Homo-oligomer: A and B are copies of this chain.
Amino acid sequence: MEGHPYSPKDLNLPGFVPNFLPPSTILGVFAAAFAIVFSVSWILPGLVSKTTKLERLLVCWFTITGLIHIIVEGYFAFSPDFYKDKTGFYLAEIWKEYSKGDSRYASFDSAIVSVEAVTAVIEGPACLLAAYAIATRKSYRYVLQLAISLGQFYGLVIYYITAILEGDHFAVSPLYYYAYYIGANSPWGFIPFLIIIRCWRKICQSEGRNKIKTK
C-alpha cells in the first residue's frame, strides 16, 4: 500500500498517485482561467443590453461559479478514482491538492459526493442560465438567482455540519484547514447570502407594488 499525505493517516487509498503539479501551478492555472472568464463575462453583457455595474458583477459571478460547478465539481462527482490518476490531468490535480484540506474528497464520502453532484448537475447549468437572465433582464432573473443561492448555501451548511459531526479531522494541517477547507469555500458562504437578501427584497418590493397597483 502506497502512502498518502491526507488526514486521517489510516485512510485507505490503494493505488494513490501523488500530485504531479506544485500547488503554485495549480493555483496559477486556476487564476488565469478565472481572469479570462471574468473579463469575457464583464464585457459581453454590455454589448447585449444596458446593465448596471452590479448586474455585470453578478453576470461574472454566475458565469464563474457555474463553470466551476460544471467543470471542476462535475469532474469530481463522477470520478471516484481521481486520486489514482497517473496522467497529471489538471482536474485530478486540483482535487488531489484540495483533499489536503478535506480528505473526504479523496475518500469519496457520500455526503460530499451527493452535495457535489447536485451542485454540478442542477446548480451549474442554472448558474449559466442566471448569467444569461441577468444580462437580458428576464422576469425570472431574481427568483432564479435566489433559488441557486439558497441551494449553494444549503450545500455549504451540509458540508460543514457533516464535517463537525464526524470530528472535523480531515485537514493535513491548520494551514490547509484555513486556506482550503475554510478559505476556498468562503465565497460560497457570503456571496450567495448577499444575493439571497437582494433578490428577496426585489421580489417582495415587486409583489408589494403590484398589490397596490392592481387594487
Contact = CB atoms under 8 A, between A and B. Distances in A.
Interface stretch (A41-49, A82-90, A171-179, A201-209): A201-209
A172 to B, nearest CB: 21
Interface in A130-154: 139-140, 142-143, 146-147, 150-151, 154
Contacts of A117: 161
Nearest to A114: B161
A157 B123 CA distance: 13
B209 A166 contact: no
B213 A115 contact: no
A25 interface: no
Contacts of A113: 161, 165
Copy tally for this chain in the complex stands at 2
Contact of A203 (B111, B166, B207): B207
Contact of A110 (B146, B166, B203, B209): B166
A120 to B, nearest CB: 12
Nearest to A111: B111
Contacts of A115: 158
A207 B145 CA distance: 14
A30 interface: no
Interface of A: 110-111, 113-115, 117-118, 139-140, 142-143, 146-147, 150-151, 154-155, 157-158, 161-162, 165-166, 200, 203-204, 206-211, 213-214
Given A140-B200, A140-B203, A140-B204, 4 more contacts: A110-B166, A114-B157, A143-B204, A206-B210
